[in-house]
């Protein structure tokens, strides 16, 4: 499966330069989006990384917060705060930017949350987060209720989240479901 990086920056020259760095360093053909509307037209689960600037990020918080684990914000000053948002100071140069991108675009095994759940567990989580009960999930996926319960038990064990609201929040913040 091909990797997809979307770049949304106000400065077209910076966007083109970053696109070239990603292509040369990681062999990934990054897409420079003309704006947030273009990003929203792409399937969220197919995007490995969105690189944006602080202005786009702040102007479109509702779009970026659910995708924050796969968003890198470029800023021309050192990051301050709790580290919840991935920010890279562009004044440190290309090497530092490449190092930050490696954390996102390097081997997928380096990302523990990416391989945390199996594809079926993600499907069950998506249905749980959408408000379905176990019987509805079983009917939708054509599996037994016991299998649904096993998947839910495994999801809870892997994530350490027991409540439906907590699972829904996790699914929303990791792009498994879209916030409404």
Q: What CA–CA distance (Å, rounded) separates 176 from 160?
A: 17
180 within some domain: no
Rounded (5°) CA angle 112-115-121: 130
Percentage of the chain exceeding pLDDT 90: 23
Residue 121 has pLDDT above 50, yes or no: yes
pTM of the model: 0.56
Quick one: 15 and 101 in the same domain? Answer: yes
86 within some domain: yes
Residue ranges with strand state E in 27-174:
31-32, 49-53, 71-75, 87-89
Which of 109, 129, 152 is a domain's end point?
109
Average pLDDT of span 136-160: 92
Q: What CA–CA distance (Å, rounded) separates 96 from 101?
A: 9
pLDDT, tens digit (0-9, with 9 covering 90-100), for 43-97: 777 788 889 988 888 888 888 888 888 888 888 776 665 567 788 877 777 777 7
Quick one: 63 and 87 in the same domain? Answer: yes
Quick one: 86 and 136 in the same domain? Answer: no
């Amino acid at each position: 499966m091909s990797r997809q990086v979307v770049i949304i920056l106000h400065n077209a020259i910076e966007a083109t330069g970053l696109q070239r760095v990603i292509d040369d360093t990681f062999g990934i053909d990054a897409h420079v989006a003309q704006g947030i509307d273009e990003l929203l037209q792409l399937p969220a689960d197919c995007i490995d990384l969105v690189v944006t600037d602080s202005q786009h990020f702040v102007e479109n918080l509702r779009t970026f917060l659910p995708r924050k684990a796969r968003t890198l914000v470029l800023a021309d000053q050192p990051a301050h705060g709790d580290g919840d948002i991935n920010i890279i100071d562009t004044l440190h140069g290309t090497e530092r930017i490449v190092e930050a991108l490696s954390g996102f675009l390097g081997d997928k095994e380096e990302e523990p949350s990416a391989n945390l759940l199996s594809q079926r567990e993600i499907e069950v989580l998506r249905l749980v987060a959408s408000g379905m009960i176990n019987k509805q999930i079983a009917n939708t996926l054509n599996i037994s209720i016991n299998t649904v319960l096993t998947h839910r038990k495994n999801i809870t064990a892997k994530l350490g989240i027991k409540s439906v609201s907590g699972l829904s929040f996790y699914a929303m913040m990791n792009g498994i479901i879209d916030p409404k």
